[in-house]
Structure formats: C-alpha cells, structure tokens
Amino acid sequence: MMFGYNVKDDYSAKGDGTTDDTTSIQNAINAAHIDGGGTVFFPTGTYLITAVLTIYSNTTLQGSAQGATSIVQNGVPAHIYGKDVSFVTIKDITFKGPGMNAPWGGGITFDRENSGNTEGIDFENVTLDGIVGNAITINCPITSSFTNVKVVGVVGDGFSFTNSGTSVVMNNCYAITCTQAGYNFAQLNYSTINSCAVEVCGIGFYLNNNCNNIALIGCGAEDQIHRNDDYPGIDYKINGGVGNSMISCYSRNNYEHGIGISLNGGNPTIIGYRQIGECPTSIVGDKNLHVELINSSCNSTMELKSGTVGQSGTTANRPSTNLYVGYQYYDTDLNKTIWYDGSAWKDASNTNIE
C-alpha cells in the first residue's frame, strides 16, 4: 500500500458525498494508531462524516489534492478532535462545514489534558470552509507549521492558538470572513507569521494576552468590519508583550470607525507599515506603550500618547514626514532623546534642537 491506510481501497469508504464514511475513516485512523502511526490516504472524493473523527499522535491525513479531496459534515461539533496529540500532519484536504447560518459545525481542535504542549503539527494545502466555531484551535502549539492554509466563512476565529506556544511558523495563510479574529494568538512566543492575509473579520491579526517575540512579516489586512464591541473592525491588535514586530505589513480599512493598528502596552517595533483607506485612525496606542515606528506611510491620523513612540538614528536621518506632536526620536549623534512638538524638535529641558 503506497500510503499505508487507504480509506477507499482498504476500509470501504465511498467518497461519494452521500454515503456516511465516518466508520470507514475512523477505522483507518485507528489502524494507523494501533500500528504506532502512519499515513491515512484519502483518494479523490467527497467524504461525508456524521460524527467527530478522533485523531492520534504520529498520524498523517493525506488527500490527493486540496480541491480534490473533501471531508464534509453538517452539524457535528468538529471535523477532527485530538487530545494530547503530537506529530500530526494534514495535507491536501478541504474540510467543509454546514455554513455560517447553521447552529453548529466545528473545524479542527487539538486540546491538552496531560501533555505540556501540542508538538509537531503540520498543515499544508488545507482549506476549512463554512465552519461554526473556530476553524482551527490548537492548545499550546510548539515547533509547528502552517503553509497555504485557508479558512473562509467562520463563526468564530480562523486560527486560534491558546495557552502559550513557541516556534510556530505560518506561511501564505489566508483568513476571510470570520466573525471574531482571523488570527488569534494568546501568549504565543517566538514565532513567525510570513506573507499571510486576512479580510472581512472583526480583528485581523490579534496578538492577545502578552505574546512575545512574534514577527509579522509582509502580511496584509483588508476590509475588517465591526462584528461586535470585542471585534470592532481592527486590522492588527497587539495587547502587551515584549519584542513583537511588524515588518512591511499593509492595511486597507474603510470601516467608518475602523483602526489600522491598535496597541495596548508592550514595546512593539513597526517598520515599513503602509495604511490606506478611509478609516479615521491608522495607529492608536495607550499610555503604557513604547513603540518603535520606522518608515511608515499612513493615510489616516495617528493617535499616540506623547513619549510613547521611539525611533533612533543620526541627526541626518531624523524623520521629516509622518510626524505628529509627541513623536520621540533618539538622536545617536546627540546621544539623547528628543521630541517633536508640532513645529520643532525639543529635548527633555524643552530646548529647541536643530
């Protein structure tokens, strides 16, 4: 058997979209588990499930192609559930839920009870569509990767990583039309989000509850909308944490009360941020913030407290555009911090600096 456990050839799944294939698929997963792990292969087809599939460690679910293999359900709590799992791979499969108007129909959940973390999760070329509940929920992921994963039409979060986690890499992922956040990371640490996109969510990228050393690189957020007071139409929201950065990220937000970036405490670095659209505020921050803001281009007003913004460089490289009252700059030639008061640079003694 080329792929170890073929749900059609070996376990009699039909893949015709109408026959209940739950038992056949679960039997294949169970057989791989009994043998210590393996690859469960789904040939081209549409596989209907009527109960949650339980997955175990050291298991790969392999489809024939992202658009050719589908697992569909119509109102069960999740497509796939795993507890205390590690080294699970899902590739080349589309998961279809009942749609956003259904009462229930969850996606993929990996939870913990006795394990310290959820290690070695690998999703590649995976789509989740029409999910009620978070599309992907992983409790404390570590050393895990997500490549070309798309979530669309979700009542909840698109990607939800909870209770810490480390060393997560996301490449070319996409969240569209989620009623909460496209990406919601709680206490995640030293991880990279690379060239990912989000549209039409309540919050695009949400670094929640003191994430640390998260790098958002070349990400884009467009057309977030007001979902409710907790998810009010923000492209990027960072709550606390140390060492977080946004590098060459983009916003287009036209919501009449929308925000490009919302910052609450912490010391993020923002480099090369570009914001367009008609939302009233490009960047807003509270008094507990200290942000490094470098080479950004914003169409809308910034609302940052005096003394909370910092950038460093030589006198010759002192910025002359996108300035506002309270902008802070550490002049390495002068060896001191200066502030812009709306018309001139001043030092801590309120002396004009040339």
Which range has the worst mean pLDDT, 48-62, 219-233, 321-335?
Answer: 321-335
Percentage of the chain surpassing pLDDT 70? 99
Greater pLDDT, 290 or 19 = 19
Give just the sign of the alpha carbon dihedral 64, 70, 76, 77: positive
Nearest to 195 by CA among 215, 218, 176: 218
Which range has the worst mean pLDDT, 30-34, 88-92, 195-199, 273-277?
Answer: 273-277
Structure-block tokens of residue 222? 């467009």
Element (DSSP H or E) covering residue 35: none
Greater pLDDT, 311 or 30 = 30
Which range has the worst mean pLDDT, 119-123, 193-197, 251-255?
Answer: 251-255
Whether residue 46 contacts residue 70, with contact meaning beta carbons closer than 8 Å, is answered with: yes
- Model pLDDT for residues 174-190, shown as the tens digit of each residue: 999 999 999 999 999 99
Task: Report the chain's mean pLDDT, rounded to a whole number.
Answer: 93
pLDDT level of residue 330 (50, 70, 90 thresholds): confident
- What's the CA gap between 229 and 27, in Å, rounded? 44
- Model pLDDT for residues 140-173, shown as the tens digit of each residue: 999 999 999 999 999 999 999 999 999 999 999 9
Q: Report residue 148: phi and psi, to 5°.
A: 55, 50
- What's the CA gap between 77 and 312, in Å, rounded? 51
Please report the pLDDT score of residue 306 as a whole number: 64
- Model pLDDT for residues 83-118, shown as the tens digit of each residue: 999 999 999 999 999 999 999 999 999 999 999 999
Please report the pLDDT score of residue 1 as a whole number: 41
Structure-block tokens of residue 176? 């569209």
Please report the pLDDT score of residue 331 as a whole number: 80
Please report the pLDDT score of residue 11 as a whole number: 97
- Average pLDDT on 273-282 reads 91
Q: What torsion do the CA atoms of 146, 147, 150, 156 make, to the nearest 10 degrees?
A: 10
SS3 state of residue 30: helix
- Average pLDDT on 3-32 reads 96
pLDDT level of residue 2 (50, 70, 90 thresholds): low
The angle at the Cα of 266, spanning 263 to 267, to the nearest 5 degrees, equals 100
Give CA 18 to chain center in angstroms. 33
- Average pLDDT on 348-352 reads 85
- What's the CA gap between 236 and 231, in Å, rounded? 11
pTM of the model: 0.90
